[in-house]
Chains A and B, each alone.
Chain A
Amino acid sequence: MPDPGGAPTPYIPNTDADRAAMLARLELTDLDTLFDELPLAHRDPAIALPEALAEADLIRLLRDRAAENGSGGRLSFLGAGAYRRAIPAVTGQLTSRSEFVTSYTPYQPEVSQGTLQAAFEYQSVVCELTGMDVSNTGMYDGASATAEACMLAARATRRSAVALLEPIDPRVADVVRTYAYGANIRVDTIPADADVAGALGDEHAALVAQQPDFLGGIRDLAPLTEAAHAAGALCVVAADPFALAMLRSPGDAGADIVTGEGRDLAGPPGLGGPSLGLFAAREPLLRQMPGRIVGRTRELHGPPGDDGTPGAPRTGYVLTLQAREQFIRRERATSNFSTGQSLIALAFTITVQALGPAGMRRSAERCYQAAHAAAARIDALDGYAVLDHGPWFQEFLVHAPLPPAALTRALAERGIEGGLDVSARAEPEARDASLFCVTEATHVRDVDALIAALIEIGATA
């Protein structure tokens, strides 16, 4: 593909002529001699990779791969940790500005104020939604943020176990166990119907509760935070930040750390990644926190005016409290966290700020009402029932006249992505149930199509 003697790829500018001049300065004749320190037996091994593709062919290939994916995304009632939201057009447009996209972690604040100030906006938004005092600039995803919260709790309380309150997302619990394996921390689960206060002991560093819980229910957090504190543990709440536009903030209910998944407000689900882990805490935990933190400060000297005398120092932003971090503290750092999810955090921030206070609340209420209206329609169908188990937000348990797995298949045949099969869970209400999700982005015609399909499926079951 490249011309002989020309640049080898579109991304490498040097031509043979450039290379010859550079090698001459190095007193070398051959590019390969740059690698002559590498052991000869293993130098330039056979590597099986496909031939290079021209840009147009690459686009064609990727379009074909994308087309191999099914059409389920268009009519979807799947949630369970990844929710389709109405994302404002400004979010993608602004986030794709290349000064944001192609910069590194802001180690040089003078040329990184865009990233830094946006991160301060993010921290402000997250503190407001969660009711916390301080936020970091974001972590990998909600699950790993929750795991880091458990590690923080263990450090802060010098205890060696954490308790996860069911119903909790099994994938979040899995990630907590992975991190806990590293730190030699025990992970207990508290059944949904158990007495929480009785289940907590003086070995527990944290009680972790999901809001809304994995089966969609809205929790009353205050009794949980009280139970955790009575046991000398911290209360960690893993919350959906979108639902928090409507729900009492976990901080107001007494939580110590709030984590959450921000991906849904940043863009489409994208197979669940890259994601964004919210991590916010009460002020006394600040110096124990993992991740990057941005602080506001001022210039050391103001800019010179026309007459040469310095003006007032201007406001700027820096990475701060870095003595917690791996590149300074090394093996004594609060975490190994380095590259995070900066661009996703930017998208999250712009979505929340574009919606604003009224738009966020209205969207959350529309989500709540749309889900309840859809649930009522399903509940009214012959052979179907929606379980009533207290207040819930956007997800509900459907019992169908056929088993959940068969229902999922029957819906898929009709071009519909059905709810998640949760029949293997321990909670009695989950038995033989599918977890359906309706959000503010679900069009009423989508629900019409679901109802028609459920009637058809029910008639033949």
Chain B
Amino acid sequence: MSTIDPLRDEDFGARLTFDRGAPGRFAVAVAGWDGPVVPEPPAGLLRETLALPELSQGELVRYYTALSRRNFGVDSGTYPLGSCTMKYNPKVDDLVAGLPGFAETHPLAPVEEIQGTLRLLHELQGYLAEITGLPFVSLAPAAGAQGELAGMLMVKRLLERRGELDRRRRVLVPDSAHGTNPATATMAGFAVTELPSGADGAIDPAVLERELDGTVAALMVTLPSTLGLWEPAIEEIAARVHRDGAFLYGDGANLNAILGRARFGDLGFDVVHLNLHKTFSTPHGGGGPGAGPVCCTAELADYLPAPVVVEAGDGSLDLVRPSDTIGRLQQFHGSAGVLIRAYAYIRSLGLAGLRATSANAVLNANYLRTLLEGHYALPYPRRVMHEVVFSGSRQRNPGDVRTYDIAKRLIDYGIHPPTVYFPLIVDEALMIEPTETESREAVEAFARAMIAIADEAARDPELLHGAPHNAPIGRLDEANAARRPELRWRPQSI
């Protein structure tokens, strides 16, 4: 198999920009000042040295081009990272987000000067309200985790206004939840109670019943769950939570499964965050930027994070601070460049396209389930939604092959590994989300690779223990990285 790294024989990673080039080289011509000169500030306020690399433009471009070739993206191949919805990112969305009329606007420009962007954002708020069935929306959060924080602070503020915050100090989180859920509840000042999932992977109504004692602020639910499963009792759960006076928080990370099929608001959720870089296909950029809008009922609307876009009677648009807002989450108005991409995505698909999206995402996941069933352990052997969670437990014997090894071996087949060891309640978890943008052939090719690896695990475990064999670099010493942290370039590190 061919390598994707042209510099494979060199220890490429050992030499950073700082170790390349030569003093006096530069990559871009910068004008000095040739007008009247005033004295600089006192020397005590000034910097003496600035150690930065000195490369010619060509050297810099080759370095970062080489880096890009040591990366795998959705454009490189199948990227079935469960819970992350790594679908293909439409190129036209990047193009329109970069239009100078959008890109050059200053965040503090008078609103009359930014009506075009505000109109778009206002429409996007409306689309997300329609899609979630929750009519009030703020686009302010920068990413899903910040959207979660917004939602939980909104719940906190409402409880405070009701005089119930002193006694409602707990937030319930299923043990299958993303780590951001309990971390967010803590950041919002609540104590977390973890709910053990039932044998079917769903929330156990008896466990919930036991915990709802008037001290609970909210239950946080990911729908479908991180096991890729529908929550069959969700309406009863919502009713029970509300009867106790608590709120139902929705983690919308898995919205791709139910786009156009069911709405959080109709099911009884009070507040939900979305991840636009997942469901609405804004590219993930190697770890952001994303956007994490928060959608809620009328009861919580006054507390939405600032700003929201509001249309006046004359059709003009304004950035408004909700009356009892939890405040700002970012200095300005949210990740406009990401929001424009999500807007373009929704406009390019329409409702029929969004429904086709969820249908094909779910179909691909279930098709994959049937292709791999029998080769890997399937802890919850039933119909799934957008993703399917297998276990590598069967491969442990006799050769002690771990899920970790299976993931690394997939790299040799030119496929990005799925999410591994999550959710935590599944032993040796392999969480696979093909998404709707993979073809039937691509899903089959992925299954063939996984089956071949299962066969290798039985025949030649050492092959897997040493994988990957065809990546730009082999397995790295992560323990050493944490034990002796080397976190920045230093001259002596050459």
Contacts and interface: CB of A to CB of B under 8 A. Distances in A.
A137 interface: yes
A108 B477 contact: no
B264 to A, nearest CB: 10
A157 interface: no
A140 B113 contact: no
Interface stretch (B204-212, B254-262, B294-302): B254-262
B45 A220 contact: yes
A112 B67 CA distance: 9
B285 interface: yes
A357 B70 contact: no
B473 A338 contact: no
Given A12-B436, A70-B112, A275-B331, A103 B284 contact: yes
A182 B52 contact: no
Interface residues of A, number: 205
Interface in B35-86: 35-38, 40-42, 44-47, 50-55, 57, 60-61, 64-65, 67-76, 79, 81, 84, 86
Interface string B461-494: 0000010100111111110111001111100010
Contact of B143 (A26, A94, A338): A338
A175 B329 contact: yes
B452 interface: no
B166 interface: no
Contacts of B90: 10-11
B263 A218 contact: no
Contacts of A29: none
B30 A363 contact: yes
B40 to A, nearest CB: 7
A152 to B, nearest CB: 12
B85 to A, nearest CB: 10
A369 B477 contact: no
A67 B436 contact: no
A149 to B, nearest CB: 14
Contacts of B471: 110-111
A297 B142 contact: no
Contacts of B350: 49-53
A4 interface: no
Given A12-B436, A35-B261, A298 B287 contact: no
B89 to A, nearest CB: 6
Contacts, number: 701
Interface in B260-318: 260-263, 266-267, 275, 277, 281, 283-291, 305-306
A342 B335 contact: no
B359 interface: yes
A64 to B, nearest CB: 8
Contacts of A123: 487-488
Interface residues of B, number: 202
Contact of B351 (A49, A293, A313): A49
A174 B81 CA distance: 36
Interface stretch (A38-46, A191-199, A226-234, A423-431): A38-46
A445 interface: no
B36 A373 contact: yes
B145 interface: yes
B31 interface: yes
Contacts of A52: 347-350, 352-353
B59 to A, nearest CB: 10
A97 B286 contact: no
A346 B16 contact: no
B330 A144 contact: yes
Nearest to A184: B189
A101 B281 CA distance: 12
B332 A315 contact: no
Contacts of A174: 306, 327-328
Interface string A348-386: 001011111111111101101110110010000000000
A244 B472 contact: no
Interface string A169-191: 10110110111011110000000
Contacts of B364: 14, 22
Contact of A72 (B12, B44, B113, B261): B113
A59 B263 CA distance: 29
B156 A182 contact: yes
B105 A269 contact: yes
Nearest to A65: B116
Q: Which of B258, B281, B349, B438 has the most CB of A within 10 A?
A: B349
25 contacts: A9-B348, A9-B356, A14-B363, A45-B263, A55-B92, A62-B99, A65-B117, A66-B102, A66-B117, A72-B113, A98-B73, A123-B487, A134-B487, A171-B331, A178-B326, A246-B40, A246-B47, A248-B46, A274-B291, A303-B474, A314-B13, A326-B178, A336-B184, A354-B28, A355-B26
Given A112-B71, A244-B47, A299-B477, 13 more contacts: A13-B440, A19-B363, A26-B367, A62-B344, A66-B100, A66-B117, A73-B106, A123-B487, A140-B142, A299-B476, A325-B179, A366-B30, A370-B33
